[in-house]
């Protein structure tokens, strides 16, 4: 895992440098390693095959400690969304109109990921008109490399 991953913001100047960064733990580190390669993978039990997210050491279904990482299509739908008003953190105040969405994965409707709907992988967080957000809208994953080297999944509308 890159040593630059931390729970606070990265205050270096530049686009997205002041956004929150993900926190990687031992169970979730492979998720971030796969995103850096442009792959969306979800932890699965190697014994009962149940998918689980967030990653954890033990399967909640069969209590097995055996795990593998299953590649997903990267397709899903908007399950929920919010437009924070006012932005809750100072670093986001310069990005009015940004969104936070919850995506339900197509192959695993019980697996939901939080992210942002953007016009392109490297577009600003407020690059999609909030009026275009709809529950159930089909989306696909895109990967964005943050200034610190961490790659985060973002979401694009399937039908722009």
**Cα–Cα distance between 127 and 139 in angstroms, integer?**
15
pLDDT in tens, 83-109: 988 767 788 887 788 999 999 999 999
Task: Tell me what the pLDDT averaged over the chain comes to.
Answer: 88
Return all residues near 76 (Cβ < 8 A) that are at least 6 apart: 103, 104, 105, 106, 113, 138, 139, 140, 141, 155
Structure tokens belonging to residue 92:
């986001």
**What is the phi-psi region of residue 60: left when phi exceeds 0, alpha when psi lies from -120 to 50, beta otherwise?**
alpha
Mean pLDDT of 51-68: 97
Q: What is the reported pLDDT for 8?
A: 40
Q: What is the reported pLDDT for 11?
A: 39
Q: What is the reported pLDDT for 36?
A: 96
- pLDDT band for position 10 (cuts 50, 70, 90): very low
Q: Provide the whole-model pTM.
A: 0.86
Sheet holding 51-52, edge to edge: 51-52, 41-45, 67-71
User: What 3-state class would DSSP assign to 160?
Assistant: coil
Most confident of 20-29, 65-74, 122-131: 65-74
């Amino acid at each position: 895992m890159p040593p630059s991953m931390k729970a606070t913001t990265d205050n270096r100047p530049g686009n997205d440098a002041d956004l929150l960064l993900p926190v990687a733990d031992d169970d979730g580190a492979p998720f971030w390693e796969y995103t850096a390669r442009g792959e969306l993978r979800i932890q699965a039990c190697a014994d009962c095959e149940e998918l689980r997210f967030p990653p954890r050491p033990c399967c909640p279904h069969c209590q097995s400690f055996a795990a593998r990482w299953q590649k997903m299509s990267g397709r899903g739908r908007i399950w929920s969304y919010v437009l924070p008003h006012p932005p809750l953190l100072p670093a986001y105040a310069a990005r009015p109109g940004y969104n936070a969405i919850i995506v339900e994965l197509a192959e695993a409707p019980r697996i939901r990921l939080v992210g942002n709907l953007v016009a392109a992988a490297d577009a600003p967080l407020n690059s999609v008109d909030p009026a275009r957000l709809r529950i159930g809208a089909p989306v696909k994953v895109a990967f964005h490399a943050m200034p610190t080297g961490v790659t985060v999944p973002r979401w694009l509308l399937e039908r722009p």
